[in-house]
Protein backbone atom coordinates (compact mmCIF):
# COMPACT_ATOMS: atom_id res chain seq x y z
CA UNK A 1 0.00 0.00 0.00
CA UNK A 2 1.24 3.48 -0.89
CA UNK A 3 0.92 5.71 2.18
CA UNK A 4 0.13 9.22 0.95
CA UNK A 5 0.89 12.36 2.95
CA UNK A 6 -0.74 15.70 2.13
CA UNK A 7 0.26 19.18 3.28
CA UNK A 8 -0.36 22.81 2.41
CA UNK A 9 1.58 26.06 2.51
CA UNK A 10 2.45 29.30 0.83
CA UNK A 11 6.18 28.50 0.49
CA UNK A 12 7.12 32.11 -0.21
CA UNK A 13 10.85 32.89 -0.08
CA UNK A 14 11.62 29.16 0.05
CA UNK A 15 14.14 28.38 2.81
CA UNK A 16 15.73 25.51 4.74
CA UNK A 17 12.81 25.35 7.17
CA UNK A 18 10.45 24.60 4.28
CA UNK A 19 12.79 21.90 2.97
CA UNK A 20 13.20 20.26 6.39
CA UNK A 21 9.44 20.25 7.02
CA UNK A 22 8.68 18.73 3.60
CA UNK A 23 11.44 16.15 4.04
CA UNK A 24 10.07 15.08 7.45
CA UNK A 25 6.53 14.92 6.05
CA UNK A 26 7.70 12.76 3.13
CA UNK A 27 9.36 10.38 5.60
CA UNK A 28 5.89 9.66 7.05
CA UNK A 29 4.75 7.98 3.84
CA UNK A 30 5.52 6.79 0.32
CA UNK A 31 4.24 9.89 -1.50
CA UNK A 32 3.95 13.57 -0.58
CA UNK A 33 1.41 15.83 -2.27
CA UNK A 34 1.56 19.56 -1.58
CA UNK A 35 -1.09 22.23 -1.92
CA UNK A 36 0.57 25.58 -2.63
CA UNK A 37 -1.57 28.61 -1.79
CA UNK A 38 -2.49 30.66 -4.84
CA UNK A 39 -1.93 34.41 -4.96
CA UNK A 40 -5.70 34.92 -4.91
CA UNK A 41 -6.12 32.76 -1.79
CA UNK A 42 -3.29 34.60 -0.06
CA UNK A 43 -5.09 37.88 -0.81
CA UNK A 44 -8.23 36.49 0.87
CA UNK A 45 -6.04 35.68 3.90
CA UNK A 46 -4.71 39.24 3.88
CA UNK A 47 -1.25 38.15 2.73
CA UNK A 48 0.79 39.25 -0.25
CA UNK A 49 3.56 36.99 -1.46
CA UNK A 50 6.91 38.08 -2.80
CA UNK A 51 7.13 35.22 -5.30
CA UNK A 52 4.16 34.54 -7.64
CA UNK A 53 2.23 31.27 -7.30
CA UNK A 54 3.49 29.76 -10.57
CA UNK A 55 7.11 30.12 -9.42
CA UNK A 56 6.46 28.95 -5.84
CA UNK A 57 4.66 25.88 -7.18
CA UNK A 58 7.54 25.17 -9.60
CA UNK A 59 10.11 25.35 -6.78
CA UNK A 60 8.13 22.95 -4.58
CA UNK A 61 7.45 20.59 -7.51
CA UNK A 62 11.18 20.41 -8.29
CA UNK A 63 12.01 18.93 -4.88
CA UNK A 64 12.83 15.21 -4.87
CA UNK A 65 10.70 14.69 -1.73
CA UNK A 66 7.56 16.06 -3.43
CA UNK A 67 5.51 13.82 -5.72
CA UNK A 68 2.77 16.25 -6.77
CA UNK A 69 1.79 19.90 -6.38
CA UNK A 70 -1.67 21.41 -6.75
CA UNK A 71 -3.19 24.85 -6.09
CA UNK A 72 -4.75 25.64 -2.74
CA UNK A 73 -7.62 28.02 -3.52
CA UNK A 74 -9.59 28.05 -0.25
CA UNK A 75 -9.74 26.81 3.34
CA UNK A 76 -12.53 24.32 2.65
CA UNK A 77 -10.90 22.16 -0.02
CA UNK A 78 -8.85 20.00 2.35
CA UNK A 79 -11.46 17.25 2.85
CA UNK A 80 -12.00 17.00 -0.89
CA UNK A 81 -8.25 16.94 -1.59
CA UNK A 82 -7.65 14.22 1.03
CA UNK A 83 -10.27 12.06 -0.71
CA UNK A 84 -9.06 12.96 -4.23
CA UNK A 85 -5.45 11.97 -3.46
CA UNK A 86 -6.37 9.12 -1.11
CA UNK A 87 -4.23 10.70 1.61
CA UNK A 88 -3.61 8.73 4.77
CA UNK A 89 -1.80 11.52 6.65
CA UNK A 90 -2.47 15.26 6.80
CA UNK A 91 0.60 17.08 8.10
CA UNK A 92 1.39 20.69 8.96
CA UNK A 93 3.86 22.68 11.01
CA UNK A 94 3.08 22.84 14.71
CA UNK A 95 2.18 26.52 14.54
CA UNK A 96 -1.15 25.18 13.16
CA UNK A 97 -1.59 22.72 16.07
CA UNK A 98 -5.26 21.98 16.71
CA UNK A 99 -6.56 23.90 13.69
CA UNK A 100 -7.14 20.81 11.54
CA UNK A 101 -7.98 18.18 14.14
CA UNK A 102 -11.46 17.82 12.60
CA UNK A 103 -9.81 16.02 9.66
CA UNK A 104 -8.88 13.19 12.04
CA UNK A 105 -12.10 11.39 11.13
CA UNK A 106 -10.80 10.73 7.59
CA UNK A 107 -7.01 10.51 8.06
CA UNK A 108 -4.23 10.80 10.60
CA UNK A 109 -3.42 14.44 11.47
CA UNK A 110 0.15 15.32 12.49
CA UNK A 111 1.79 18.59 13.44
CA UNK A 112 5.57 18.66 13.13
CA UNK A 113 7.90 21.13 14.88
CA UNK A 114 9.11 24.04 12.78
CA UNK A 115 12.82 24.59 12.21
CA UNK A 116 14.04 26.88 15.01
CA UNK A 117 15.15 30.40 14.11
CA UNK A 118 13.88 30.24 10.51
CA UNK A 119 10.79 32.07 9.34
CA UNK A 120 9.60 33.59 6.09
CA UNK A 121 8.27 36.59 8.03
CA UNK A 122 11.70 37.23 9.56
CA UNK A 123 13.48 36.76 6.22
CA UNK A 124 11.06 39.19 4.57
CA UNK A 125 11.70 41.75 7.34
CA UNK A 126 15.46 41.39 6.95
CA UNK A 127 15.28 41.82 3.18
CA UNK A 128 13.15 44.95 3.51
CA UNK A 129 15.40 46.66 6.09
CA UNK A 130 17.39 49.54 4.65
CA UNK A 131 21.00 48.48 4.50
CA UNK A 132 23.81 50.53 5.89
CA UNK A 133 25.92 51.10 2.85
CA UNK A 134 29.11 53.09 2.86
CA UNK A 135 30.30 55.16 -0.03
CA UNK A 136 33.04 53.10 -1.73
CA UNK A 137 34.69 56.21 -3.17
CA UNK A 138 37.80 57.55 -1.44
CA UNK A 139 37.44 60.67 0.72
Whole-number Å distance between alpha carbons of 125 and 110? 29
Confirm whether 129 is a catalytic residue. no
Whole-number Å distance between alpha carbons of 58 and 53? 8
Whole-number Å distance between alpha carbons of 114 and 132? 31
Catalytic pick among 3, 20, 47, 129: 47
Catalytic pick among 20, 45, 97, 129: 45
Whole-number Å distance between alpha carbons of 71 and 10? 10
Active site residues: 45, 47
Amino acid sequence: MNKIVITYGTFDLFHIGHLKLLTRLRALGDRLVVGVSTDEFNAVKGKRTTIPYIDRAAIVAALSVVDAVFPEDNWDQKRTDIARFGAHVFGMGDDWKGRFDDLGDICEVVYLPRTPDVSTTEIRAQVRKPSLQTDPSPC
